[in-house]
A = this chain, B = another copy of it.
Amino acid sequence: MSLPSDIAFILDPARPVLTHARSMQAETGVLPHAHPRGQLLWAKQGVLRVTSEQAVWVVPSTHGVWIPGNCNHQVSCETLVETRNLYIDPTYPVRDQDTQVVMVAMTALMREIVLRLNDSPKCSGDASTARLGLVAIDELNSLSAADLSLPAGTDPRLRRIISHMVSHPDTRHILGELASLAGASVRTLERLFKSETGLTFRQWRTRFKLMNALEALDRGESSTAVAYTVGYKSTSSFVAAFKAEFGYTPQVHARRL
């Protein structure tokens, strides 16, 4: 864990939208801190764990996290991660409805905008980059809070289990086996999942798998491949679970991209 040494640049008042890209190793992170600028935190690669005062989320690359200005937050990496951030000047009206940290679903447009802004030379004060920044703010405002978030909890036993699952996404995890790993009984873990994340273990596991599935589908993998890489033993059960959650089948989703 490290304190961010580069908070300073966030304060540049001349530019409404700033970017920051960084590559982070697994298990590393940034200690709790806050800054006046609002921040869109996103990893184009890897899985983040974001902790606010209210909640903790596990965040794959299909999603991002909006951190309003002056909101305390902490970030750590479940895996090797490539972050691409946006920092918005507080004088701009961004997501006024959100007073707290919130997980959002990234759109394809938002992804491309963030990538482009991060690729533009830092000091580029040119007009077209500025216009793109304005659109970034528009899009940021229209991002909807994630309908499929993955709350993480703080209990050490729970964290051990979740980090184990994140690092073995292709396995079929059984609560009984995880219990010995966590040093707690199955019943206690059931209670922990419910109280800390609001979800039962099964719900949590299903969401976890389906979020991984969304990522793989975005990359263009087949339903069969996805089913196995996210830990189902048969394609049909994956398709069934997917449809039960979203209302449409995996390939219908893929075609929408």
A134 / chain B contacts, CB cutoff of 8 Å: 131
Chain A, range 121-153, C-beta contacts under 8 Å to B: 128, 131-132, 134-135, 138, 141-142
Residue pair A128, B132 in contact (C-beta under 8 Å): no
A residues 146-184 with Cβ under 8 Å of B?
A: none
A108 interfacial by beta-carbon distance below 8 Å:
yes
**Stretch of A19-27, A109-117, A191-199 contacting B (4+ beta carbons < 8 Å):** A109-117
Copy number in the complex reads: 2
Chain B residue numbers with a CB within 8 Å of A115 are: 108-109
Query: Shortest beta-carbon distance, A112 to chain B, in Å?
Result: 4
The 9 closest A-B pairs by CB, nearest first: A128-B138, A109-B112, A112-B112, A135-B135, A108-B112, A131-B134, A109-B116, A131-B135, A132-B135
Enumerate chain A interface residues (CB-CB to B < 8 A).
107-109, 111-113, 115-116, 128, 131-132, 134-135, 138, 141-142
9 A-B residue pairs with Cβ-Cβ distance under 8 Å, sorted by A, are A107-B112, A109-B112, A109-B115, A111-B112, A128-B141, A128-B142, A131-B134, A131-B135, A132-B135
